[in-house]
Amino acid sequence: MTVFAPGASVQLPFTRVANRRTTSLSGIPHLSIDAFRDAISGAVLNGWRIVALFGMPEDSASLSLVAVLADDKRGQLHLARSLVAERYAAVAAVCAQAERFEREIAEQCGVFPEGHPRLTPLRRHPADHRPAAWPNARGDDAYPFADFDSDEVHEVAVGPVHAGIIEPGHFRFRAHGEDVLALEIVLGYQHRGVETLLETRDLRGAVLVAESIAGDTVIAHASAYCGAIEALGRCHKSARAQSIRGVALELERIANHVGDLGAIAADVAYQPAAAFCGRLRGDCLNMLMMISGSRYGRGLIRTGGTTFDISGDMARDLIARVTRLEHELPAVVELMFGSPSVQSRLDGVGVVTPAQCITHGFVGPTARACDVARDVRHDHPYGVFRYAQIPVATTWSGDVYARALIRWLEVQRSLEFIREQLGSLPAGASRLACGPFAPSEIVVAMEEGWRGEVVHVAVTDERGQIRRHKVVDPSFRNWTALALAMPGNQISDFPLCNKSFNLSYAGHDL
């Protein structure tokens, strides 16, 4: 194995592309698995990160591993692939960012990554649906939790059935008294076959599936899906459509961030902010409904642009609503952050360090709260964000307070962006036609959703039909951050810590 020094200048065998730009499959190098592992680990040591790593069947006996890596400093994406059989040397053995991706590949494609640090199921499966070569394959569907050989350590199990209407997920705490020593998270209780549906349905049906990947991230997933399809179909959207999409994306961000601020306030029993933010979240959702007819933006984003336009009267009404939000939000949020009792509950709880973020490839507010300035709108700009950039907000402490503060900073900048866009919407059509797909091409479409980076990778076959569609929701990467944040805290801190990430079960359980 080749060893790379961090920051060293190395020649890496990747094909360079850009966000939402196609390239030919034949131009992506086929590396041996050893060269593939070396290239990925060397790239990550030099500051790149894994955006996607997935399997793509070639025939009944072989599988292509396809890697997409991002060089955020240069705004570039890089592709490589390797042909493997039933067993191969695990990339995760030399690069921690590949750990969850390879667990998914093993489940989806039935191959075994030898040397993987801990090949536990990424999504819950009965034992008879797991690859037979897995070391933890058993005659039942028990999850192989880590063992703690101690009479003083006890376990606390939460879920998978929860109160209210949230989706299933299991949390297993190991604790000494009230102090958490470790947290294991078991997800994947719901299997919807999202990627297969995206590969087999026509465009009208597939976009409905994309909107449903995570119900609170409709705009981001629909935009990433349509971005991939538009690139394959050589569709150039109008400036007006790009601006409307940007407005909708930021409204989605504001609605969820404001809702999270209220939920964090509720978890520390600060009811004034909880009630007020809950109402203002509703105002944001009502603005999305004004634009699209749906409070979550369903039906707005379609290939070629948007299905609905924003008239002059509607734009003026929206600007008035945004201005009202800009005046109403600061009073309650600043009162919340200025309260010593609130600060004492948020400060120092659930810390994620910059080193952990870089090692595991966390994204979105989770990364920006520990001073890792990672944002697709800035690093890999697309659409309206090529011309109207939103400054990246970061904090440094990586705790619940930092994740709450990041939300407030992003809300303020998104409100300003929306007001500017609505005040000067470009002329033009809101939707244009999309052409047929070119054969044997691949495209990576990235979108900065409110939780972080949403990725859709689409591959066409020799007939120009969708052959593979890979989805990476930000929660896929960031659930590990919650598991790392809990040790050293008390069990009673878990609801607050969990809410500060507010990750999606549905986005993970594809």
Structure tokens at 354: 């910059």
CA distances from 405 to 151, 229, 371 (A): 40, 35, 12
Tokens of 433: 């036609």
The H-or-E segment that residue 83 falls in is strand 76-84
Report which of 421, 367, 383 is spatially closest to residue 375, judged by C-alpha positions.
Answer: 367
What's the pLDDT score for residue 135? 55
Q: Where are the alpha helices (DSSP H) in 392-472?
A: 400-423
Place of tokens 């800009």: 326
- The pTM for the full model equals 0.95
Cα–Cα dist 409/343, whole Å:
17
Could you give the angle at the alpha carbon of 483 between the alpha carbons of 479 and 488, nearest 5°? 150
Q: Which helix (H) or strand (E) holds 34?
A: helix 33-45
At 111-159, the pLDDT tens digits run 999 999 988 888 876 655 665 556 554 445 567 888 877 889 999 999 8
The answer for residues whose C-beta is within 8 angstroms of residue 330's C-beta and 6 or more apart is none
Instruction: Please tell me the predicted confidence (pLDDT) of residue 5.
Output: 43
**DSSP-derived 3-state class of residue 162:** coil
Collapsing DSSP states into helix, strand and coil, what is residue 266? helix
pLDDT at site 321: 97
**Which secondary structure element, helix H or strand E, spans residue 62, and what is its range?**
strand 62-71
Domain spans of the chain, in order of start:
15-122, 194-508
- How much is the pLDDT for 9? 44
Residues of the chain short of pLDDT 70, as ranges, are 1-11, 125-142
| Residue 80: predicted pLDDT | 96
Asked if residues 456 and 271 have their Cβ atoms less than 8 Å apart, the reply is no
Q: 15-122 adopts what CATH topology?
A: Beta Polymerase; domain 2 (3.30.460)
Taken in order 298, 416, 253, 48, is the CA torsion positive or negative? positive
Residue 242 CB partners (closer than 8 Å, separation 6+): 305, 383, 384
220-235 confidence digits (pLDDT tens): 999 999 999 999 999 9
Name the token pair of 72: 């955020």
pLDDT of residue 6: 46
- Pairing mode, strands 30-31 and 76-84: parallel
Which CATH superfamily includes the segment(s) 194-508? Cytochrome-c3 Hydrogenase, chain B (1.10.645.10)
